[in-house]
Chain A
Amino acid sequence: MNHLYLSYPNPGGIFSNPVGYWVIVALAIVFTLFVLLTATAYTVWYERVLLGRFQRRPGPNRVGPLGLLQLAADGIKLATKESFAPAGVDPILYLVGPAVMVAAAFLAWAVIPVGIWWGFSYWISNINVGILFVFAVSSMNAYAILLGGWSSNNKYSLLGGMRAAAQLISYEVALGLSLVPIFIITGSLRLQDIANFSVHWGPYHGPIPLVIVAPLSFVIYMVAATAETNRTPFDLPEAEQELIGGYHTEYSGLKFTLYYLGEYLNMVTVSTLATLIFFAGWHPNAPWFPAFIPFVAKIVGFLFLYIWLRNTLPRLRYDMLMRLGWKVLLPLGMANVVVTAAVVVALTG
């Protein structure tokens, strides 16, 4: 198990010293947290600007240049708001809900590699089961939402929490199945290995975006990931017309901020995973073309896609949601696994 692995230059020096090693790990964690918080804030800004553009209005443009400081203003407002809890809530579980949400969202980044420079990528931990770890911590989201909905002592919250739990469990299966062909093709669950997967196709030697060889996986992944992050058209758990706000109806101030933060961070996480798994992560890069440019560009592209979906598609009805998950995505995912396995065996023997 390799913590904080810096590919080239060769780790040595401060890394061989046990104290220096942990100092580096701590610094890496702080750096990751800082970058993620900033990225999440600007994802919210990006969504609001795009929502405005899609609806032919300017969007946030008052606080700072281009409205870039809008999120700082919103953050200060939310942090200084009175933290109000309605009567009859379960005092402990009411707090556990948002805490679990934000902890699960950040923990996933312990194994997600980030491309920075040519031949130089960065991650906190490089475990053998990388992507399963991401699934494991993101499955804790169901608790955050269900506990928030249950402990609020409000029937709309409870309904939202129930819908969310059923939806998360249904689509987790499809999400997991959609990635099995990727594991069959690359033979690894490490996100680094998947992003660096290379082929020798005639004159071409090098990494390829796996979406070429597993397009159906990509489609299933995108649909299931949208459902997992409760984004429109799968935002039934927080359908504001019928449930006010769903599971976070009774939350305000910082506790609401935690739910909000977790939700947008999950959106960034699934976009990053899609980039790493299906679009070759930080490739192509060269000494004069830093790896973070294609990496960040692809993530922003996926975020744009999510926001575009939100602006285009109406919300599904509950029975349609369940039918899509169990009767369409699940059989498709299974057929995809069987066909991919057969093709891989036929080609490689």
Chain B
Amino acid sequence: MAAVIFWVMAVVAVLGGIGVVASRQPIRSVLSLVVVMLALAVEFLILSAQFLFAVQIIVYAGAVMVLFLFVVALLGPMKERRQLRFQWGLALLVALVFGGFLYSMLGSVPFRAPQRTALSVFGTVQDIAYGLFTKYLYPFELTSVLLLVAAIGAIYLSRGGHGIQARREEDDRRA
């Protein structure tokens, strides 16, 4: 049962990934990415990581992708028609390079079966909270500081800080 669901969702996720890059309409690309996120969430659930499943949907599919969709819908339903001159050749080259990297690196990754004894506590809210607030407390807090810095930066740029405001006024005067 779990294997069947895994393969179905794996195919769905890969098809969604293809949809992201192959769609001509930006809105279709965004929705394909939502499909990828949802398929990955189901994969988490098969690994009995229930909390990750819920958070993956709430944060990525429910909030981040809605903002993407919001921006795309605001910018208008433009179809992407432009193509670079050597786009196909370039794309193929990049894909081959990354495929080579993946192939050479995957060989050295050790794959283990999940430890079955711990499955009743693994992935529960309590388990993840325990990990986050004991063993991984400092990395966790550092990541949140990083996010805070990004948020402050975004506010500074959009509000127009001291230097930015002066430069904008200068631009206006020139125009």
Q: Which of B27, B66, B124 contacts A142 (CB under 8 A)? A: B66
- Asked if B27 and A150 make an inter-chain contact with CB atoms under 8 angstroms apart, the answer reads yes
Task: Say whether B73 contacts A161, CB under 8 Å.
Answer: yes
Q: How many A-B residue pairs have CB under 8 A?
A: 75
Secondary structure call for the B interface = helix
A128 & B50 in contact (Cβ 8 Å cutoff):
yes
Interface check B125, CB cutoff 8 A: yes
Distance of A193 from chain B, by nearest CB (Å): 12
* Size bin of chain B's contact surface: 20 to 34
Interface residues of chain A, those whose CB is within 8 Å of chain B, are: 1, 90, 93, 127-129, 132-133, 135-137, 139-140, 142-143, 146-147, 149-150, 158, 161-162, 165-166, 168-169, 172, 176, 189
Distance (whole angstroms) from the CB of A137 to the closest CB of chain B: 8
Residue of chain A at shortest CB distance from B62: A139
Contacts of B77 in A (CB 8 A): 90, 150
Interface of A is mostly: helix
B69 at the interface (CB under 8 A from A): yes
Out of B27, B53, B57, B63, name the residue touching A172 (CB < 8 Å): B63
Of chain A, the residue at the smallest CB distance from B55 is A132
Q: Is the CB of A139 within 8 A of B125?
A: no
A140 x B27 contact (CB < 8 A): no
Question: Scoring B residues 51 to 66 as 1 if CB is less than 8 Å from chain A, else 0, what string do you get?
Answer: 1011101100111001
- Shortest CB-to-CB span from A336 to chain B, Å, is 19
The answer for the CA separation of A344 and B51 in the assembled complex, in Å, is 24
Chain A residues within an 8 Å CB radius of B61: 136, 139-140
A273 to chain B, nearest CB (A): 15
Q: Does B73 contact A132, Cβ atoms closer than 8 Å? A: no
Asked if A128 contacts B51 (CB within 8 A), the reply is: yes
Known: A135-B58, A150-B73. A129 touches B51 (CB 8 A): yes
Complex Cα gap A90–B34 (Å): 18
Say yes or no for B136: interface residue by CB 8 A criterion: no
Q: With A and B bound together, what is the CA distance between A147 and B51 in angstroms?
A: 28
Closest residue to B123 on the A side, CB-wise? A128
Residues in B neighbouring A150, C-beta threshold 8 A: 27, 69, 73, 77
User: B53 contacts which chain A residues (CB < 8 A)?
Assistant: 129, 136
16 more CB-based (< 8 A) A-B contacts, given A90-B77, A93-B27, A139-B66: A128-B50, A128-B124, A129-B53, A129-B124, A132-B125, A135-B54, A135-B58, A135-B62, A136-B41, A136-B57, A136-B61, A139-B61, A146-B69, A168-B66, A169-B66, A176-B58
B142 CB-CB contact with A under 8 Å? no
Cβ–Cβ contact B63 & A136, under 8 A: no
Closest CB in chain B relative to A108 CB, distance in Å: 12
CA distance A45 to B14 in the complex (A): 46
Q: How far is the CA of A172 from the CA of B67 in the complex (A)?
A: 13
The yes or no answer to B140 lying at the interface (CB within 8 A) is no
Q: Complex formed: what's the CA distance from A143 to B48 in Å?
A: 27
Complex contacts, A90 vs chain B, CB 8 Å? 77
Which 4 residue pairs across A and B have the least CB separation, nearest first? A139-B62, A132-B54, A136-B57, A142-B66
- The smallest C-beta distance from B126 to any residue of chain A, in angstroms, reads 8
Interface flag for B98 (CB, 8 Å): no
Chain B residues with CB under 8 Å of A129's CB are 50-51, 53-54, 124-125
Contact, CB under 8 Å: B50 / A127: yes
* B66 and A146 within 8 A (CB): yes
A136 touches B58 (CB 8 A): yes
